[in-house]
A = this chain, B = another copy of it.
Amino acid sequence: MSKKVLILGGDGFCGWPTALHLSANGYDVTILDNFSRRKIDIDLNVQSLTPIASMEDRLAAWKEKTGRTIGFEKINVAKEYDRLLHILNTHKPDAIVHFAEQRAAPYSMRDSQCKRYTVDNNLNATNNILCAIVESGQDIHLVHLGSMGVYGYSTTHAPIPEGYLSVSIKSPDGAEEEREIMYPPSPGSIYHLTKTQDALSFYFYNRNDGIRITDLHQGIVWGISTPETDLDPRLVNRFDYDGDYGTVLNRFLVQSVVGHPLTVHGSGGQTRAFIHIRDTVKCIRLALENPPARGDKVKIFNQATETRSVRELAEIVSRMTGCEVRSYADPRKEDQENDLWVENSQFLKLGLQPTTLSEGLLKEVKTVAANYRDRCNLSKVPCTSLWNAKQSLDTVGTPLDLLPHHEERERERTQA
């Protein structure tokens, strides 16, 4: 009998290709979603660069192409607890994959309403899911998409470990105690804050109720398509390029196609971890196939395959396309230069063969971007979500070289 899995947030950028990948690999998949991501598009007056089909058409196309059925339930898991519990009691899933969170850092910092929505939605969604698993009395493996951003960024001589850190604590009497702790979190946005708070919920429910949980600390996703989304135009994945939801590399690729300078924020020395969407969906499957045993602590994977600085990325894209790289005032409060070294041996040991930036796959994404360039609204490219009151909409979105005293101002602002 095939394994039953619920994909919460299965209409989104990571959720949709995951649902297809698991269905293609023999899982009995049901998507739960409230279309919040599509509705935020309406509020922001942007749209996916790719024309995404409705959920009805997506599922019909999948059935038509593969003969496989994916179920769907429209539900807001952060608000409709009783219905969520009913779904667990009737579907009796073996596992739940939890993508049902507001997932953009800039959107989470846009204004009070967005901050409050992100906290309310993400924390209640996670708690409702955990609470419903306990109340259902079933042994359901929960796989959650977390973020590399929960770690803050390392300055040690060691790579960031997969979730847990050994430290030693010295006492006044000279005694020294070794202890394993969760890696000290340092969230850089409200969105990341909710992921660090989720981690504490997982810790508690795992210890108190024995729920088996895997938390995936994912890097920044790039790319758009997977073998499954390529099967039919109606299966195409969403592709965001706007200042709130677009991820940095995908934004650069679109910018290069539409002739916008590549928007490096500040110095571009911010180093981040990356993963291709094709690897994301494989990692989710590997996590499902390798659950923690009963009684085990929360299993944490770093779901990232390489690290690059934003400046490096811009240079790679610029070399491929000849387009200009330009520095803009950084809307975020963040270090302008950092190193990043990430342990990711667990997924490699499980057989993951990463898709790397150097393999020319940028080209595939560039092709998609070029096909839909006419759908791009240039006015949505700049990042306009300001991290705090020290920042000004007058400077954000403006090339640094056009600002008077920009270096000094930038230094003041990011150190403040």
On A, residues with C-beta under 8 Å from B are 81, 85, 112, 115-116, 119-120, 123-124, 127-128, 131-132, 134-135, 137, 155-158, 165-173, 175, 177, 179, 181-182, 184-190, 193, 196-197, 200-201, 203-204, 207-210, 333, 387-389, 416
The answer to whether A175 touches B201 (Cβ under 8 A) is: no
Contact A119/B112 with A185-B200, A208-B387, A389-B134 known, Cβ cut-off 8 Å: no
CB distance from A83 to the nearest CB of B (A): 13
Does A166 lie within 8 Å of B170, measured CB to CB? yes
A115-B127, A208-B388, A387-B208 as given contacts; A171 in contact with B156, CB under 8 Å:
yes
What are the 4 tightest A-B residue pairs by CB atom distance, in nearest-first order? A157-B171, A167-B167, A158-B171, A157-B175
- Residues of B with C-beta under 8 A to A201: 193, 197
Copies of the polypeptide in the assembly = 2
> Which residue from B168, B185, B210 sits with its C-beta under 8 Å from A167?
B168
Docked-complex contact B197 and A169, CB < 8 angstroms: no
Classify the secondary structure of A's interface with B.
Answer: mixed
Bound-state Cα–Cα, A177 to B112, Å = 38
Among B155, B167, B193, B210, point to the contact of A204 (Cβ < 8 A): B193
Name the residue on B nearest A333 (C-beta). Answer: B208
A345 vs chain B, min Cβ distance (A): 13
Query: Smallest CB–CB gap between A186 and chain B, Å?
Result: 8
Identify 20 residue pairs between A and B in the complex whose beta-carbon atoms are under 8 Å apart, listed by A's number: A81-B112, A81-B116, A112-B134, A119-B124, A120-B124, A123-B197, A137-B389, A156-B171, A158-B171, A166-B170, A167-B181, A181-B181, A181-B184, A186-B203, A187-B204, A189-B208, A190-B204, A200-B200, A207-B333, A208-B333
Which residue of B167, B172, B197 is within 8 Å of A197 (Cβ)?
B197
CA distance A179 to B170 in the complex (A): 12
Chain B residues with Cβ below 8 Å from A119 are 123-124, 127
User: Among the listed B132, B177, B333, which residue makes an inter-chain contact with A156, where contact means beta carbons less than 8 Å apart?
Assistant: B177
CA distance A179 to B127 in the complex (A): 31
Given contacts A112-B131, A170-B166, A190-B204, contact A416 B120 (CB under 8 A): no
- Complex interface: chain B residues within 8 A of A416 (CB): 210
Q: In the complex the two chains form, is B200's CB within 8 Å of A177's CB?
A: no
Q: Say whether A116 contacts B112, CB under 8 Å.
A: no
Extra pairs beyond A158-B173, A166-B170, A193-B200 (7, CB < 8 Å): A85-B112, A112-B131, A115-B127, A168-B168, A184-B184, A186-B203, A196-B200
Nearest Cβ distance between residue A106 and chain B, in whole angstroms? 13
Chain B, residue nearest A334 (CB): B208
Q: How far is the CA of A89 from the CA of B72 in the complex (A)?
A: 45
- Taking CB atoms, residues of chain B closer than 8 Å to A193 are 200-201, 204
